[in-house]
Amino acid sequence: MSDLHFWGVSTSRTLRPIWTAEELGLTYGLTPIGPRNGATQERDYLSRNPKGKIPYMVDRDVALSESVAICRYLVQRYSNDDAIANPQSIVGRAKCDEWCFFILGELDETSLYIIRRHEVLKRPRRWLLRVNVALANFAPRPIS
Protein backbone atom coordinates (compact mmCIF):
# COMPACT_ATOMS: atom_id res chain seq x y z
CA MET A 1 0.00 0.00 0.00
CA SER A 2 1.29 3.49 -0.85
CA ASP A 3 1.64 5.98 2.04
CA LEU A 4 -1.48 7.77 0.85
CA HIS A 5 -4.58 5.65 0.38
CA PHE A 6 -8.26 6.41 -0.29
CA TRP A 7 -11.39 4.36 0.13
CA GLY A 8 -14.43 5.20 -2.01
CA VAL A 9 -15.40 5.80 -5.65
CA SER A 10 -18.33 6.74 -7.88
CA THR A 11 -19.80 9.72 -6.01
CA SER A 12 -19.01 13.43 -6.13
CA ARG A 13 -17.87 13.29 -2.51
CA THR A 14 -15.40 10.48 -3.16
CA LEU A 15 -14.16 12.29 -6.27
CA ARG A 16 -13.18 15.41 -4.25
CA PRO A 17 -10.08 13.96 -2.52
CA ILE A 18 -9.07 11.93 -5.60
CA TRP A 19 -9.32 15.06 -7.78
CA THR A 20 -7.32 17.05 -5.21
CA ALA A 21 -4.61 14.37 -5.11
CA GLU A 22 -4.46 14.38 -8.92
CA GLU A 23 -4.15 18.18 -9.04
CA LEU A 24 -1.31 17.98 -6.51
CA GLY A 25 0.45 15.25 -8.53
CA LEU A 26 0.37 12.80 -5.60
CA THR A 27 0.82 9.05 -5.83
CA TYR A 28 -1.91 7.17 -4.01
CA GLY A 29 -3.66 3.84 -3.65
CA LEU A 30 -7.40 3.38 -3.92
CA THR A 31 -9.81 0.80 -2.55
CA PRO A 32 -12.79 1.33 -4.88
CA ILE A 33 -15.75 0.65 -2.62
CA GLY A 34 -19.01 2.32 -3.65
CA PRO A 35 -22.01 3.66 -1.75
CA ARG A 36 -25.29 1.99 -0.79
CA ASN A 37 -24.17 -1.56 -1.55
CA GLY A 38 -23.14 -2.67 1.94
CA ALA A 39 -19.38 -2.25 1.46
CA THR A 40 -19.20 0.65 3.93
CA GLN A 41 -20.86 -1.51 6.58
CA GLU A 42 -18.40 -4.44 6.37
CA ARG A 43 -16.66 -5.18 9.66
CA ASP A 44 -13.16 -4.57 8.22
CA TYR A 45 -14.16 -1.18 6.86
CA LEU A 46 -16.01 -0.14 10.04
CA SER A 47 -12.92 -1.01 12.07
CA ARG A 48 -11.10 1.66 10.05
CA ASN A 49 -13.92 4.16 9.77
CA PRO A 50 -16.68 3.67 12.34
CA LYS A 51 -18.75 6.37 10.61
CA GLY A 52 -19.39 3.84 7.83
CA LYS A 53 -19.08 6.44 5.07
CA ILE A 54 -16.89 7.11 2.07
CA PRO A 55 -14.56 8.81 1.32
CA TYR A 56 -11.91 7.83 3.84
CA MET A 57 -8.16 8.48 3.77
CA VAL A 58 -5.01 7.21 5.45
CA ASP A 59 -1.73 9.05 4.93
CA ARG A 60 0.94 7.33 7.02
CA ASP A 61 -0.20 8.04 10.61
CA VAL A 62 -3.06 10.38 9.63
CA ALA A 63 -6.56 8.92 9.19
CA LEU A 64 -9.45 11.15 8.08
CA SER A 65 -13.03 10.97 6.94
CA GLU A 66 -15.10 13.90 5.55
CA SER A 67 -14.31 14.82 1.96
CA VAL A 68 -13.62 18.51 2.58
CA ALA A 69 -11.41 17.81 5.61
CA ILE A 70 -9.41 15.36 3.47
CA CYS A 71 -9.04 17.89 0.63
CA ARG A 72 -7.96 20.65 2.98
CA TYR A 73 -5.46 18.35 4.69
CA LEU A 74 -3.94 17.38 1.31
CA VAL A 75 -3.70 20.99 0.15
CA GLN A 76 -2.19 22.20 3.42
CA ARG A 77 0.29 19.33 3.55
CA TYR A 78 1.28 18.99 -0.10
CA SER A 79 0.39 22.17 -2.00
CA ASN A 80 2.97 24.19 -3.89
CA ASP A 81 2.82 27.34 -6.00
CA ASP A 82 2.16 25.37 -9.18
CA ALA A 83 -0.74 23.43 -7.71
CA ILE A 84 -3.78 24.45 -5.70
CA ALA A 85 -3.79 27.85 -3.97
CA ASN A 86 -3.42 27.56 -0.20
CA PRO A 87 -4.15 30.97 1.34
CA GLN A 88 -1.75 31.87 4.15
CA SER A 89 -3.39 34.97 5.59
CA ILE A 90 -6.06 34.74 8.27
CA VAL A 91 -8.56 36.47 5.98
CA GLY A 92 -7.62 34.31 3.00
CA ARG A 93 -8.15 31.14 5.06
CA ALA A 94 -11.42 32.49 6.41
CA LYS A 95 -12.65 33.17 2.85
CA CYS A 96 -11.66 29.63 1.87
CA ASP A 97 -13.52 28.24 4.92
CA GLU A 98 -16.50 30.42 4.07
CA TRP A 99 -16.89 28.84 0.62
CA CYS A 100 -16.13 25.30 1.80
CA PHE A 101 -18.76 25.43 4.55
CA PHE A 102 -21.27 27.14 2.30
CA ILE A 103 -20.87 24.54 -0.43
CA LEU A 104 -20.95 21.65 2.03
CA GLY A 105 -23.71 22.86 4.33
CA GLU A 106 -25.98 24.90 2.10
CA LEU A 107 -25.55 23.31 -1.33
CA ASP A 108 -24.35 19.72 -0.84
CA GLU A 109 -25.98 18.37 2.32
CA THR A 110 -29.07 20.54 2.48
CA SER A 111 -30.05 20.30 -1.17
CA LEU A 112 -29.25 16.60 -1.44
CA TYR A 113 -31.29 15.61 1.60
CA ILE A 114 -34.19 17.93 0.77
CA ILE A 115 -34.24 16.64 -2.80
CA ARG A 116 -34.21 13.04 -1.57
CA ARG A 117 -36.89 13.71 1.03
CA HIS A 118 -39.16 15.14 -1.66
CA GLU A 119 -38.24 12.44 -4.17
CA VAL A 120 -37.47 14.99 -6.88
CA LEU A 121 -34.56 12.75 -7.91
CA LYS A 122 -37.13 10.62 -9.71
CA ARG A 123 -37.52 13.53 -12.16
CA PRO A 124 -33.89 14.16 -13.03
CA ARG A 125 -34.37 16.86 -15.69
CA ARG A 126 -36.32 19.19 -13.42
CA TRP A 127 -33.94 18.44 -10.55
CA LEU A 128 -30.87 19.31 -12.64
CA LEU A 129 -32.46 22.55 -13.81
CA ARG A 130 -33.11 23.61 -10.21
CA VAL A 131 -29.55 22.79 -9.13
CA ASN A 132 -28.14 24.76 -12.09
CA VAL A 133 -30.25 27.79 -11.23
CA ALA A 134 -29.26 27.56 -7.54
CA LEU A 135 -25.54 27.32 -8.38
CA ALA A 136 -25.73 30.21 -10.86
CA ASN A 137 -26.84 32.46 -8.00
CA PHE A 138 -23.66 31.71 -6.03
CA ALA A 139 -20.80 32.14 -8.51
CA PRO A 140 -17.65 32.44 -6.34
CA ARG A 141 -15.35 35.48 -6.34
CA PRO A 142 -11.55 35.00 -6.23
CA ILE A 143 -10.06 34.43 -2.76
CA SER A 144 -7.55 37.15 -1.84
Ligand X SMILES: N[C@@H](CCC(=O)N[C@@H](CS)C(=O)NCC(=O)O)C(=O)O
Using CB under 6 A as the criterion, which residues of the chain lie in contact with ligand X when the complex forms? Answer: 11, 13, 35-36, 40, 53-55, 66-67
* Residue 58, beta-bridge partner list: 5, 63
CB of 83 to ligand X, least distance (A): 22
Which alpha helices (H) appear in 1-137, and where do they start and end?
Answer: 12-23, 43-48, 67-78, 90-101, 110-117, 124-136
Task: Closer to ligand X by CB, 9 or 143: give it.
Answer: 9
CB of 49 to ligand X, least distance (A): 9
Task: Closer to ligand X by CB, 91 or 98: give it.
Answer: 98
Which of 49, 56, 41 is CA-nearest to residue 4? 56
CB of 30 to ligand X, least distance (A): 15
Task: Closer to ligand X by CB, 47 or 88: give it.
Answer: 47
Which of 49, 60, 14, 48 is CA-nearest to residue 33? 14
